[in-house]
Amino acid sequence: MRRVTPVVFKAGCPDCRGRFELAASALRLAIGATSRTTFYSFTCPECGSAVRKPAGERVVELLTGGGVRTLRLHPTV
């Protein structure tokens, strides 16, 4: 039986400048209709700030491939 290594992502907090690794379960990905409405978010483990950062195509690919929970946003009409 093969052992599975948990996926971790390197992240940084713009408020406290902390750098750390987060498990996929600590991140959330929101995919909107445009690049401006596509982002990932997490809570800084060092200062507790809510962090939201833009996610381009490559970041979306890495996060979804790593098991990050994803929310698809729908534009309101």
Could you report the per-residue pLDDT of 23-56, keeping only the tens digit for each? 999 999 999 988 889 999 999 999 999 999 999 9
HSE-CB at 33 with a 13 A cutoff on CA atoms is 4
Residue with tokens 């690919």: 61
For the chain, report the end-to-end CA distance as a whole number of angstroms. 50
| Amino acid sitting at position 57 | E
Q: What is the pLDDT of residues 61-71, one digit of tens each?
A: 999 999 999 99
